[in-house]
Amino acid sequence: MLRAGAALRPRLASARCLSSREECHERLATKQKGHVKPLKTKQKGVDILHDPLWNKGMAMDYPERDRLNLRGLVPPRVKTLEEQAARVMAQLRGDFADDDDGRLRKNKFLQELHNRNETLYHRVLADNIAELAPLVYTPTVGAVCENFGAQFRRARGMYFSVQDRGLFSSMVWNWPHDDVHIIVVTDGSRILGLGDLGAHGMGIPIGKLALYCAAGGIAPHRVMPVMLDVGTNNAALLEDDDYLGVQKPRLEGDEYFAMVDEFMSAVFERWPDTVVQFEDFESSKAQPILDKYRHTRRCFNDDIQGTGCVTLAGVLAAGRQAGLRLSEMSFLCAGAGSAGLGVCLQLVDGMVADGLSREEAMKRFVICTSVGAIGRADGAHGDPNAARGLSAEREIWVNDAVSDGASLEDAVREFRPTCLLGLAAQP
C-alpha cells in the first residue's frame, strides 16, 4: 500500500513542490526507483487555477508556472504545500468553536478547500488524519448530509437517478477520468443513524473517499463518489425546496433492482477493473445486492463485510485472551440494521469455520431491534416484532431462548451472552 503522501504525487507537475529547478533536478536524479510518473494535462493558465484537481495555489514553482502559462496569474512568492498546510491548520484551530456548530463550520471550510485545491486538501488531511477524520467523516458527516442541500456549492461525483434509466451506459463516459480504481455508492436509504436522506446522502461517499485518498494512498483522480438516486420516502425532503434529489417515492421491488443492475453493468463496462463499495443501503436491499454481485463483480458492502470482519478480528483477539474459542461464545446484538446483521453473519461464518453447523451457530445469537429482542412469541412482552412482521433478513434470527420484545436488560438476563455487540443506530 502506498503511504498517504503518495496520493499527491501523480498530480504534481514536478516530483514535489520545490522552490528551484536545481532542487527538482536533484530530487529526480536521486529517486531512480519507485518514481510515479506525473500526469499530463492540456490545460493552461487560469484553467489550471480553476480546476481543483490541478491547482496547487502558490505551491507552483517558477518552472511549473512557465510550463503551464501561470507566470503573473498568481502572486510571485512560492509557498510550499507544507507552508500552506500550516496556515490552513492555524485557521481551523483558531477560527472555529469546538462544538457541533463549530465542527460543521470546519467541515464547510475543508469542503471549500477541497473545491479549489485538492492537492493542498489531501496534504492537510494526510498530515492531520487523527484530528481531521472526525470532521470529514463520522460523526460530523451526518450533520453535513442533513444540511447538504442548503450548503451545496459545487457538484462532486456522479448522480444516477430514476430519470436517467436507460442512459447509464452513456452517462459513465461523462466522467473525465479513465482510471477509476474505486467507486463508493449509496442510495441514501440508511445514512448512519439518520435514516433515509435520499440524494443528500452523497456526503457519505465523498467523505469516505477523502479518507481513502489521505490515509490509504489512492490518488484523488482514481476515486468516484456515486449517488444512486431512486427517490426518497422522507416526507420532509419530498416537500423541501432545498432538496437536490428526485422528489418522488423510492423505487421498490424489481424496478429498484433493475436500476442497480443497470448501474453495475455501466460502471464495469467502462472501468472493468474498478471496485464498487456499497455504502449505507438499508438492510432489506444491502444483503440481496451483495449476494447478487459478490461472485461476479469486484464489490463489497462496507456495513456488512467491512464492519463484520473488523468485529470478528476483535472477538477472536478477545477470545484468545479469555481462553475461549469462537465456537464456545454467544452474542447479543443491540441493533438489527445492515451493520448489525452483517456483523452477526460474519461471526456465524467464523463459528462454522470453527466447527459448528450453521444452525447451531445462529442459535448462539439474540438480536434486539428498536422494540426489543427477536424471540419466541409468548405474549410476555406483547410480541412487538412478530406483530409488525419480520423481514426475511430478520426472521432467520428468531431465538426461542428469549421472549419477543424483551428489553436489552431482560434479554441479557435470560440469554446470558458471552459478548454484547452495540450496533444500534440510536443509543
pLDDT in tens, 180-203: 999 999 999 999 879 999 999 999
* Confidence at residue 35, expressed as pLDDT on a 0 to 100 scale: 58
243 in catalytic set: no
Of these residues, 208, 212, 243, 256, which one is catalytic?
A: 208
pTM of the model: 0.83
List domains and CATH numbers for the chain.
Answer: 46-134 (1.20.1370.30), 150-297 (3.40.50.10380), 306-422 (3.40.50.720)
392 or 195: which carries more pLDDT confidence?
195
Instruction: Give the residues across from 299 on adjacent strands.
Output: 276
Establish whether 229 is an annotated binding residue: no
208 in catalytic set: yes
* Confidence at residue 397, expressed as pLDDT on a 0 to 100 scale: 93
* Mean pLDDT across 136-140: 94
Render pLDDT for 41-61 as a digit per residue (tens, 0 to 9): 889 999 999 999 999 999 999
Spatial separation of the C-alpha atoms in residues 290 and 300, rounded to whole Å:
7
346 or 24: which carries more pLDDT confidence?
346
Establish whether 190 is an annotated binding residue: yes
- Cβ 136 vs Cβ 207: under 8 Å: yes
Establish whether 280 is an annotated binding residue: yes
Instruction: Give the closest residue to 399 by CA, choosing from 343, 354, 325, 336.
Output: 336
* Mean pLDDT across 167-191: 97
Of these residues, 106, 121, 137, 159, which one is catalytic?
A: 137
368: three-class secondary structure by DSSP:
strand
Contacts with 202 (C-beta within 8 Å, 6 or more apart), sequence order: 145, 148, 156, 157, 159, 186, 188, 225, 227
* Amino acid identity for residue 35 in this structure: H
Residue 14 has pLDDT above 80, yes or no: no
324: Cα separation from own chain's centroid: 34
Establish whether 303 is an annotated binding residue: yes
408 or 385: which carries more pLDDT confidence?
408
Residue 339 has pLDDT above 90, yes or no: no
CB-based burial, 186-200: b 16+ in 10 Å, e otherwise = bbbbbbbebebbbbb
